[in-house]
Amino acid sequence: MRIITGLYKGRHFDIPRTFKARPTTDFAKENIFNVMNGYIDFEDTDALDLFAGTGSISLELLSRGCRQVVSVEMDRDHAAFIRQCMQKIDTDKNVLIRNDVFRFLKSCHRQFDIIFADPPYQLEQIDTLPSLIFDKELLKPNGLLVFEHGKQNDFSSHPRIIDHRTYGSVNFSLFR
């Protein structure tokens, strides 16, 4: 896993082979972040990384200048790996929350400029996540929700969708 650009550009982190998480490929990550650049300025923004997994997205957000990134990851080993990665880049701008994403969303009372969600593609409630985020008003006005999902999910009729991109088997729906 590597950081594509920004302050920590080129830094590599070896993901343990025992991990269940599938990190977003470098190709897909680079392309979606290029698209995101057209919608939002990363400098001095607050971001939320849901289903943080390996921390790849959180690291990329921090590298691009986010003021703070809240990473939510339920798995103990994955959370420990994210913590180690943050220590390696010597940052205190990451808040790691080890919790179930749905439980976190129900209790969260904060708004974010960027929300990135990369749930397991087989997650039963995957189709409810964008609406849950908007119902809880977690996204700031003019904020951006980036939702990674499989080809079986279609958000084209969602009232807040603004863009959809596909990179190989990876789909991203963007909402405002």
d(CA 117, CA 54): 13
Whole-prediction pTM? 0.96
Are the CB atoms for 164 and 156 separated by under 8 Å? yes
Percent of the chain residues past pLDDT 90, beyond the cut: 91
Question: Over the stretch 2-53, which tens digit does the pLDDT of each residue have?
Answer: 999 999 999 999 998 888 776 788 899 999 999 999 999 999 999 999 999 9
Amino acid 9 reads K
pLDDT score, position 19: 85
CA 169 to chain centre: 17
CA distances from 116 to 88, 90, 159 (A): 22, 22, 18
CA 97 to chain centre: 14
